[in-house]
Amino acid sequence: MFFSDAVFAIVITLLVLPLTAELEVPGEGVDLVHEVFSGQTPRILTFALGFLVVGQFWIAHHRMFGHLRRADHGLLWFNLVGLMTVAFMPFPTALLGGSPLEADRFPVVFYAVSMTVTSVAFTATWLYAVRRGLVDEARGQDEIRVFTVRSFITCAVFLASIAASFLGLQVAALFWLVLLPLARVTLVRRRPSPVPQSANRDAGSTSAPDSG
């Protein structure tokens, strides 16, 4: 987990580099705030978008490994591939912030595809862990099922955002920052509450036939 957290921390730090790459401090008598921020607005908004999207992946990654009780060699490789897709994120983010989106949809589509690849990689990691019995048995089958469904929903939302990206960044961003969290919250609220074991024992004792 320390290596994974380090990768996420470095990626989030790299997201801010396009903001400083072409930064020039104007001379005296110039409105500093206007001069600095007037040409940086697209990059600032793209940084905020990238930070929130990468942050969601970091939260999902933490939750996934919090469900595991052990790891094997295969899981490490799955995790490594997933982290490779995360490490690639600063490139499509920089492309998104440095391109005229009104004339070219490719940066938005490329960004959506990159996020989808990352989502698929993490979902594949989770499915491998479930199949190999690496998940903590104390979590219960209902909790494992909910996490699996949430992973598939995340992939579906990112996949749908590829089509939405052809309509523009604003539409695609609604999928990443609004629809995705909303779908996850809705899934958690619909999750059935576990029945206490004591209640099960009481129900079993009351429903037992009278031997007399």
Task: Give the orientation angle of helix 106-131 with respect to helix 73-87, to 10 degrees.
Answer: 170
Give the other-Cβ count within 10 Å of 191's Cβ. 14
Residue 175 lies in a domain: yes
Identify the pLDDT of residue 181: 83
| Span 79-89, pLDDT tens digits | 999 999 999 99
DSSP β-bridge partners for residue 135: 68
Domain contains 70? yes
Predicted pLDDT of residue 32: 58
**pLDDT of res. 206:** 45
Average pLDDT in the chain? 82
Where the chain has pLDDT below 70, the residues are 21-39, 100-103, 187-212
Rounded to two decimals, the pTM is 0.78
Say what the pLDDT of residue 24 is: 60
Q: What pLDDT score does 82 carry? A: 96
Domain contains 210: no
Cα separation, 179 vs 146, whole angstroms: 18
Of 185, 184, 180, 182, which is closest to residue 161 (Cα–Cα)?
180
What is residue 98's predicted lDDT score, i.e. its pLDDT? 78
Domain span at 87: 2-21+33-191
End-to-end Cα distance, the chain: 59
- Within a domain: 73: yes
Residue 12 located in a structural domain? yes
Q: In the chain, how many domains are there?
A: 1
Tell me whether residue 108 is in a domain: yes
